[in-house]
Amino acid sequence: MNNKVLPRWSRLDNAAKIFPSNSSMRDSKVFRFVCELKDFINPVILQTALDRAVEQFPFFQSVMKRGAFWYYLEESDIKPVVQKEYELPCIPLYDTNKESLLFRVLYYNKRVSVEIYHTLTDGTGALQFFRTLIYYYLLERHCEEFASVPSLDYDASWFQKRDDSFQKYYEKPNGTKISKRKKAYCLNKEHLPDRHLSIIEGKMSLKSLLECSRSMGITITELLTSLFIMAIHQEMNLREQKEPIVITIPVNLRNYFPSESARNFFTVINAGYNFSYQEDSLEVVASYIRQVFKEELKEEKLKEQMNVWSALEHNILIRLLPLFVKDAILRTAAFIMRRKTTASFSNVGRVSMPKEMEKYINLFTAYTSPDILQACSCSFGDNYVISFASPFYSRDVERTFFRFLTQMGIEVEIAANKIETGK
């Protein structure tokens, strides 16, 4: 009699379903979190910390497989192993021809990085895993210096972490439709070779940034979104200004609907501005963006949007379509949405660690592998870091963005990777 225990598997959550169909060498759908410590990394201790972190997030030890109708995750006995970083950032993790885990942990000098395929989790879920990894690393690395064991402020159960919150909060929509958007202005720049990214990090004082945003009566996210729009506007000629600049902003739904899930649980809002009939002034742009955020970030509106998108997977006709047809539909949908998006900005927010461990950490930062220009930001202590990731040779938008900040009196320390300047 065969007593073999079948591997535990799970369906992809609603947000995850679009990523497998649209992953490529250029756009791997992989994103990265980085923690810069004060001391050089000990890889042996980092491996021990990774082993302990995976015990807390067992479904991270999964591979993705193709079914007849949907992709799905299956738990695996493949052990994650820390690697010294030598490859390009955010290279593909999912390979249709090879079973592999959907995340990797890297180290280089004083930096630890985790790269995760977006199908597995979103930024919030990844950050909880990453914080757990850094927690166990510092606990082991400096064990003799802690009078007592510090506690981490995330103690969700195994079931809560695996929870598909889209299913938990889904209600059949009452006829609400997502408003249609027109084609947006798209940055028409020369692309870097596949797998290559332009990365620029700008580090500044959180206190200075807060003072600046508060003086304008807006939040940091609203200020940075407005500056992003202004910087992109500098790249446009008069003819192009007929099209709106549209910034897509991910929204963590856990802030609106109680959830401890470490899977995907987010939606997006779109902040658009058209300079052909709206004023070219930071104050006016910021005031308009503030109103957009106020209207879009309402619980009832986010709920409606979540239900409309979730309803698609509950549609019996769509469920019966074979996977190759779904792939084609999702690729087409993603192509259409890209034409309606100029760039993306994700504010991860403040990263917290146990107070006893803060002195060992310099900063956190994040970025993703994009097919458009994307910015990510997060803060730790007074260090606020904005990271731009781009598939383009040109860095003019990023330079203009940081120049705007310095003109506002905010000192910015910039670091960038080297990219090829010619072919």
One-letter amino acid at 375 equals A
Tokens coding 179: 């408003």
- Residue 366, phi then psi, degrees to nearest 5: -150, 150
From first to last of its 423 residues, the chain has per-residue pLDDT tens of 344 454 588 889 888 988 999 888 888 999 999 999 999 999 999 999 999 999 999 999 999 998 888 899 999 999 999 999 998 999 999 988 889 999 999 999 999 999 999 999 999 999 999 999 999 999 999 988 887 888 888 888 888 888 899 988 888 877 666 667 789 999 988 999 888 899 999 999 999 999 999 999 999 999 999 999 999 999 998 888 999 999 999 999 999 999 999 999 999 999 999 999 999 999 999 999 999 999 999 999 999 888 887 877 777 787 888 888 988 988 888 888 889 999 999 999 999 999 999 999 999 999 999 889 999 999 999 999 999 999 999 999 999 999 999 999 999 999 999 886 544
pTM reported for the whole predicted model? 0.93
Compute the distance between CA of residue 296 and CA of residue 268 in angstroms, rounded to an integer.
Answer: 9
Which domains does the chain possess? 8-147 (3.30.559.10), 198-300+333-361+368-416 (3.30.559.30)
Compute the distance between CA of residue 376 and CA of residue 369 in angstroms, rounded to an integer.
Answer: 11
Element (H, E) at 167: helix 165-169
Contact between 264 and 121 under an 8 Å Cβ cutoff? The reply is yes
Per-residue pLDDT at 423: 45
- Residue 363, phi then psi, degrees to nearest 5: -160, 165
359: Cβ contacts below 8 Å, ≥ 6 apart: 38
